[in-house]
Amino acid sequence: MSHSHKKKVIIVGGGAAGFFTAINIAEKHPHYEVLVLEKTNKLLSKVKVSGGGRCNVTNARQQPSELTPFYPRGGKKLYTVFKEFSTADMVRWLGDRGVKTHTEADLRMFPTSNSSQTIIDCFTGEAARLGVKVIQNCGVKHIEATEHQWSLVTSQGPMIADKLIIATGSAPSVWGFLSQLGLDLVPPVPSLFTFNIKDLRISGLMGTSFSEVNIRITGTKLEEAGPMLITHWGLSGPAVLKLSAWGARELAEKNYHFHILVNYLGKESNAEVRQWFDQQKQDHPKRKVLNYPPGELTRRFWEQLCKYCEIAEEDNFGEITKKQVNKLTEELTQGLYEVKGKSTFKEEFVTSGGVALSEVDLKTFEARNFPNLYLAGEVLDIDALTGGFNFQACWSAGWVISEHI
């Protein structure tokens, strides 16, 4: 067959999802001509900065049922997608191409080189080996279905595709032509942000961390446990980021103004903490309260909280009043804080929203109402917590498309 008779697959977006999809299609379907169009002069730029430059490429959890709980948008619908191409498959895929990976204690996986460039080199090398054409500085401005093909308006002129894959990430710039087609779009809201809090109890304590806290957002069902960190602007750390992801839409509706209840001692109940104070009174009445924080709280944080509860430096456990114990207990197990605004979490900021999942058949990632149009990656209303899950959603989608196209 001559070159010109090859069916043409165009992939819009030279990011994680676009490259992975292109490579796998080219490998499995050598009779297709595969073309990647990238708006900017950079390829895989988010992969480059991901994971602090190390690229948290996937996660060591392997079962689909272990993975889906990490996706606030997507969730159980992704079960069959992960069944077809899971994290272990990605590890094998990379290994087969000479990229070794390793797992950290929290189950995040990175290339053993600890450099995102290793992933970029692998992807660009594979694309070149398989004859994938990549055109940079080529933004797609409009798409239209003709009888059996798709016609594109790009910054480098018109193009025709037999199969069209949209992998443009979270930028809403393509939403215009996608919604013009009639695709249902879920408006974008940020996910994975930290809470801005101005409060005497935490001011000046940036860098202070807590190994396990519990945070509830009042007036909602949102509740999360995990490590927490005091920053210059307020509160951050896994427990906060998880809340921001699950509450992305609800908290946007509140305009990022809400109240949280913090239990600094994780699962410890009010009664258990009160009991702890009673024990101290009994066993160590002469000990100075400020010198003996409960649990794993740091001295600095505990001193500040004691002062806030009007405990003097010389006060010992034997002396503090019932009222003071009540106040301390409340501050420890259900400290009420006002959140006013959010800050971006630079490590792994994502946008929730995008093309509604109901628009695609997740067995193929083809648009239900538009034959030969596929969507992959963050352009879809799929997003996850930190840990390599966002990339895995790209890898799994790309693989599934390449299997069924």
Ligand X SMILES: Cc1cc2nc3c(=O)[nH]c(=O)nc-3n(C[C@H](O)[C@H](O)[C@H](O)COP(=O)(O)OP(=O)(O)OC[C@H]3O[C@@H](n4cnc5c(N)ncnc54)[C@H](O)[C@@H]3O)c2cc1C
Among 34, 37, 178, 357, binds ligand X (CB under 6 A): 37
Establish if 168 lies at the interface with ligand X (CB under 6 A). yes
Q: Which span sits near ligand X by CB under 6 A: 73-81, 208-216, 327-335, 383-391?
A: 383-391
The least distance separating ligand X from the CB of residue 27, rounded to whole angstroms, comes to: 18
| DSSP-assigned beta bridge partners for residue 361 | 366
DSSP state of 380: B
Closer CB to ligand X, residue 37 or residue 373? 37
What are the percentages of helix, strand and coil residues in the chain, rounded to 5? 40, 25, 35
| Cα atoms in the Cβ-side hemisphere of radius 13 Å centred on 108 | 17
- Show the site string, 329-368: x = touches ligand X by CB under 6 A, - = not: ------------------xxxx------------------
Report the largest interatomic distance among the alpha carbons of the chain, rounded to a whole angstrom.
92
Among 32, 75, 133, 139, binds ligand X (CB under 6 A): 139
The least distance separating ligand X from the CB of residue 19, rounded to whole angstroms, comes to: 8
**Which are the contacts of 149, defined by CB distance < 8 A and separation ≥ 6?**
160, 161, 162, 372
**Which are the contacts of 256, defined by CB distance < 8 A and separation ≥ 6?**
196, 339, 340, 341, 342
Establish if 188 lies at the interface with ligand X (CB under 6 A). no
The least distance separating ligand X from the CB of residue 44, rounded to whole angstroms, comes to: 7
The least distance separating ligand X from the CB of residue 38, rounded to whole angstroms, comes to: 5
Closer CB to ligand X, residue 226 or residue 377? 377
Q: Which span sits near ligand X by CB under 6 A: 234-242, 292-300, 317-325, 384-392?
A: 384-392
Q: Which span sits near ligand X by CB under 6 A: 80-88, 183-191, 223-231, 387-395?
A: 387-395
Q: Which span sits near ligand X by CB under 6 A: 9-17, 99-107, 230-238, 313-321?
A: 9-17
Among 10, 33, 50, 355, binds ligand X (CB under 6 A): 50
DSSP calls for 108-154:
EEEETT--HHHHHHHHHHHHHHTT-EEESS--EEEEEE-SSSEEEEE
Closer CB to ligand X, residue 212 or residue 383? 383
Q: Which span sits near ligand X by CB under 6 A: 48-56, 195-203, 204-212, 297-305?
A: 48-56
Closest C-alpha among 144, 162, 165, 131 to residue 15: 165
Establish if 238 lies at the interface with ligand X (CB under 6 A). no
Run of H or E residues at 248:
helix 248-253
For residue 31, count CB atoms less than 10 angstroms from its CB and return exposed for 0-12, middle for 13-18, buried for 19 or more. Answer: exposed
DSSP calls for 275-313:
HHHHHHHHH-TTSBGGG--STT--HHHHHHHHHHTT--T
Q: Rounded distance, CA 82 to CA 358, Å?
A: 18
The whole-angstrom distance between residue 167's C-alpha and the CA centroid of its chain comes to: 17
Establish if 236 lies at the interface with ligand X (CB under 6 A). no
Establish if 46 lies at the interface with ligand X (CB under 6 A). yes
Q: Rounded distance, CA 112 to CA 114, Å?
A: 5
Q: Which span sits near ligand X by CB under 6 A: 69-77, 202-210, 238-246, 388-396?
A: 388-396
Closer CB to ligand X, residue 192 or residue 228? 192
Establish if 94 lies at the interface with ligand X (CB under 6 A). no
Closer CB to ligand X, residue 50 or residue 194? 50
Among 9, 17, 164, 229, binds ligand X (CB under 6 A): 17
**Radius of gyration (Cα) for the chain, nearest Å?**
26
Among 25, 140, 273, 332, binds ligand X (CB under 6 A): 140
Establish if 377 lies at the interface with ligand X (CB under 6 A). yes
Closer CB to ligand X, residue 249 or residue 327? 249
What are the backbone angles phi and psi of residue 379, rounded to the nearest 5°?
A: -65, -25
What are the backbone angles phi and psi of residue 135, rounded to the nearest 5°?
A: -115, 115
Q: Which positions touch ligand X (CB under 6 A)? A: 12-18, 37-40, 45-46, 49-51, 55-56, 139-140, 167-169, 171, 173-174, 347-350, 377-379, 388-391, 394
